[in-house]
Chain A
Amino acid sequence: MSGLTLHDYELDDACYKVRLLLGALDLNYAKVAVDVHPGREQLSPKYLKLNPLGSLPILVDGEVLLHGAEAILAYLAQAHDPNKAWLPREPAGFGAVMMWLGFAGGELRSASLARMHHMLEVDADAAALDRQSRQAFRVMDDHMTQREFDGRAWFAAEHPTIADIALFPAIALSRDFGIDHDEYPALRRWMRRVRAIPGFVTMPGIPSYH
């Protein structure tokens, strides 16, 4: 019944966030592969009509047209999660999720850019991105260290939310741009929990442990 279409690039960590949630929600969707590298198709007139920012992911759901991973995650949780768990309605939980979504689309963006720089030779100040990425991962590890002392396993609630989904790809893919997981023991344990979420999907750089 679902009329969901995701305009997607397999190597894009922002697209992966959406694929993760679609998997966790067990939703059927059509995937349109966009030739980002080397074709730069996301910047073509056809795609700029869908998203003037020239970025992916783009989600189409009937009349709804959205771009930006965090907005799409929030929309999917609002529209297609019958249990209303991935985006809590209760104010404190909602606020915590929104705070981490802002972080995922803000400070953590350095990690995405660092990866693009390493993999696709996107022009960037690699040293600055490395420093900013490590700082962001440190903030995440400090947070999950404190959460574990309270017996909590997830970033924003007693159960996984779209905050966990939005934060996962950058650190899980960090070896692509030269940052090991050694220094983030609480994130290592949390990533293992994320991988065990029913419906979890992999992407290149995030192997399935067969």
Chain B
Amino acid sequence: MSFGADWYAVGLSEGLEAGTSAGARLFDQEIVVWRDTDGVTHAWEDRCPHRGMRLSFGFVRGNHITCLYHGWQYDAAGQCRLIPAHPELKVPDTIRTTAYPCRERFGMVWVYSDLAAAAPSDLPPEVPQVTPVRSIYIDRTATAVVAFLTAADLPPFPAATAARPTLAGSGSLLSLSFGGDALLAAVQPVGRAKTALHLAMSGRPQDWRGAGQKDVARWAQELRHALEQQAPYDGAPVAQALHDQIPQEQTRQEITP
């Protein structure tokens, strides 16, 4: 399995409360993911256009995100609306952040990794009943994580008393099915030797809320432990080609408060 321009989960929906932001990395690109007070999620390049400060260090007030550095405020469309050092200034339209396509599905926040793509293909269709579990970060490449899920002796899954779960995958979303239920595992290639798995259970919520979530979360810790016991995977860096394609340059403005 290789990873290219695609949709990737960067966190669980439930974990991103309204009016808060979080930093995320995808192929080593820094992204700020935030939810406005209307509940809409946004994913932007994690740079204030002014001085390059990470916006995820700032804070969300109303439907604006405010840079910690000089308080520049950006609206939900990424347009800078206020420069506190020049409160009278009508901020030029050119001062805006760069947004990634962003969706919510399967109880997760998804980001399309390629800023140059005009019309990304859509995510797989929603499933009706999803219980979020947790995000877990593993110090191994995404390739190694997927190879382990596919081939290795997985820690015994809490609910799968009988047969080994069957694995299916589409893009960065893997599904481990057993009986009628499935563990959804979304793979986020964070950086060269770091991968996040965002985990949710499809099935009746009453079967998975509470004790079920705790069991699956502990299973994920065992999985992380087993993977990190392995020698680091020494294959090609994950999607290095894609990483090199993503534009690196900043568009910083020359206005200085």
The interface of chain A, by Cβ under 8 A from chain B, is 138, 142, 145-146, 149-150, 175, 180-183, 185-186, 188-189, 192, 207, 209
Contact = CB atoms under 8 A, between A and B. Distances in A.
Interface in B54-71: 57, 59, 61, 68
A149 B210 contact: yes
Q: What DSSP secondary structure best describes chain A's contact surface?
A: helix
Contacts, number: 43
A142 B15 contact: no
Contact of B135 (A175, A180, A185, A209): A185
Contacts of B12: 185
A185 B11 contact: yes
A175 B218 CA distance: 27
B97 interface: no
A209 to B, nearest CB: 4
B137 A183 contact: yes
Contacts of B214: 146, 149-150
A182 B15 contact: no
Given A185-B12, A185-B22, A186-B15, 15 more contacts: A142-B217, A146-B218, A149-B210, A149-B214, A150-B210, A181-B22, A182-B22, A182-B23, A182-B25, A183-B196, A185-B135, A186-B134, A189-B17, A192-B20, A207-B68
A188 B137 CA distance: 14
A192 B221 CA distance: 24
Interface string B183-197: 000000010000010
Contacts of A146: 214, 217-218
